[in-house]
Chain A
Amino acid sequence: MKLQNKIVYILLTAFLGYTLLFSGFIYYSISHFSFVDFYKRLEIRAIATAKIELENPNENNVVQQLRQEYLEVLPNESHLILENVDKSGVLDDPRLELYSDSFLKTVLAEGIATYNSQNTFVYGTLYQTPDGREHLVIFSAENYFATHHLAYLRNLIFTSLAIAFLLIVVFSVMFSRKIIEPIQNIIKKTKKIGLENLHMRLEVPSSNDAIRELSQTFNDMLNRLETSFETQKNFISNASHELNTPLTAIIGEADVTLSKLRQPQEYIESIKAILEDAEKLQRKTQALLLLAETGFDGKRQKFGKVRMDQLILDVKETVEKIQTKTKICLDFSLLPESPLLLKVMGNEPLLHLALSNIVLNACKYSDGKPVNIALGVVEGMIIVIVKDSGIGIPPDEMEYIFDPYFRASNTKNHEGYGIGLPLARNIIRIHDGELRISSVLNEGTTVEIRLPRGNFQL
């Protein structure tokens, strides 16, 4: 069953059950009250009549006056008085044929009884005159209230039930739609996200409720998924570019040396060159494998203490292995005095990967000019600034730089797939951080990474 229908049914049942119970209770108590009230009226009339007819049949006494003046005549009112009844034989009296047997028996046994058939209500009692004789007094009348007012009340309740039903249906349909709508939006958006556009994210609503939590959880999951996919792509992309150059050099060197017979000295020199290139290749492979490690080992994404200054030194080392020509300058002049302020709650390999991607980019696009890395702390935020004097990013392409596979128009002379930066941003996002980039074309790019400080005690 669809969730929307489910909500409608639940609401309908609950509300209708409540209204039914409520109106049933009212109807029952009103009709009960009207019956009791009417029997009381019959009782007064029966007793008054008995008093008038049995005790002083000839006098115009006070009771008669009261009855005539204050007791309203009921519709179809009639009474029957059997004087001086004999309890055993009275049931055979032909005048009692109209009344039911059980009623008469109760009257004789208990002294008082009531019953109603259709709209005629009957009250019977044994009346004792002061001289000790017992008389059977039966008074009957039609209950106008029951016939008219109760019917009106019943109609009223049924109509209001029908109206309430309509209202509840409309209300619950609207309510369920309102509840379901954001979920359906999420479903629609999530369906659109596939392997090919893993960088898309759900909108996180500003209200603070379960929907917000749901979309945030989805986004977090997508961040992690995308990161693990991209880590592998990143390795392949880096490897294909970085490993090719020394390999080509080795092959070329060997080819040239083998082309003719040479002096031993020449062989020694060329083998030395080959060895140097091979060593370079080995260092590069090691560094790349270190970066790719995060994608393969099973215990990944475990969070722990990471010291940012140490991390920057590590990254410098890694990057220098891969980009052999670059100069990296560190500026730790504004480091705080307490090392506690430099610790981030994070996953070291991932942060390493993110930072080295940014620094590698800076190195790649600055053609041997020095790259600066600085570290500072502002109010619980750890800020890493990577600044290069490279080719920069064209201002109108700034908004696309985080899209996977996007490469700025001025990067034609540099190899790459456009994977590093989105990956870095994802990793920073996983750490609740922020990545800001500002750039001036042909003059350089400044990347600012802000990471929240971990709450560690000494």
Chain B
Amino acid sequence: MAKTILIPTDFTVRSLNLVKIALQKNYQSQEKLRIILVHGIMAPTSITELLFYSKAKELEELENAEFQASCKLLLGKFDEKIERMTIDLFSGFNQSAFENYLDANHVDEAYIPANYKLKLTSRSSFDLIPFFSKSKLPLTRIDLEGLSSSASEEREDALAALFFTQGQIAR
């Protein structure tokens, strides 16, 4: 039996710390994990754009090299633990759409940042955290600001953002 974990992402390496922590917390349990990284972004409104809309292309634009490298780093480390890790776009407008999305993907749990504001990478991106907070999912709030050893100054998309998170140094 695999557990599905939903994690919001803004395509920075720092936000992947949520994935790392989620994985570390579940490391001891027998279950495998299915991880869905979700990013809120509006679907295009014109018919022509919708006609040629492709999620893969959209994702390709949003991801950068460091983000991909970090994902691979995590996959390399937790290879045994992860059944599947996907990156998805959510473009619903209201709470019920979000609930629907949770149902469809059989989400069991979610990890959200406590006081870290997700960066809205593209112009049509929107913040998913309110949807998370209002839903009935078991939420785990992680304090990303406090985690990082040095304060907020750092380039958030550098590979180093995935390391040196205090209190989590183990194994």
Contacts and interface: CB of A to CB of B under 8 A. Distances in A.
**Is the A/B pair a real complex?**
yes
Contacts, number: 77
A374 B72 contact: no
Contacts of B164: 329, 331, 372, 374, 387
A interface, over-half SS? strand
Contact of B155 (A329, A341, A389, A438): A438
B153 A440 contact: yes
B159 A448 contact: yes
B129 interface: no
A446 interface: yes
Given A376-B163, A438-B155, A336 B150 contact: no
Contacts of B69: 378-379
B73 interface: yes
A376 B73 CA distance: 7
Interface residues of B, number: 26
Interface residues of A, number: 27
Contacts of B5: none
Q: For A330, A376, A444, which residue has the most chain B Cβ atoms within 10 angstroms?
A: A376
Interface stretch (B54-62, B76-84, B92-100, B131-139): B76-84
Nearest to A336: B76
Contacts of B169: 329-331, 333
A387 B160 contact: yes
Nearest to A446: B160
Interface in A111-147: none
Contact of B163 (A331, A370, A377): A331
A443 B152 CA distance: 11
Contacts of B76: 334, 336, 341, 376-379
25 contacts: A329-B164, A329-B169, A331-B163, A331-B169, A332-B171, A333-B20, A333-B168, A334-B74, A334-B76, A334-B162, A336-B76, A337-B79, A372-B163, A376-B73, A376-B76, A376-B162, A377-B76, A379-B69, A383-B159, A387-B160, A387-B164, A438-B158, A440-B153, A443-B150, A448-B160
- A-B complex: 10 closest residue pairs judged by Cβ atoms: A374-B163, A372-B164, A334-B77, A378-B69, A446-B160, A336-B76, A376-B73, A331-B163, A378-B72, A385-B160
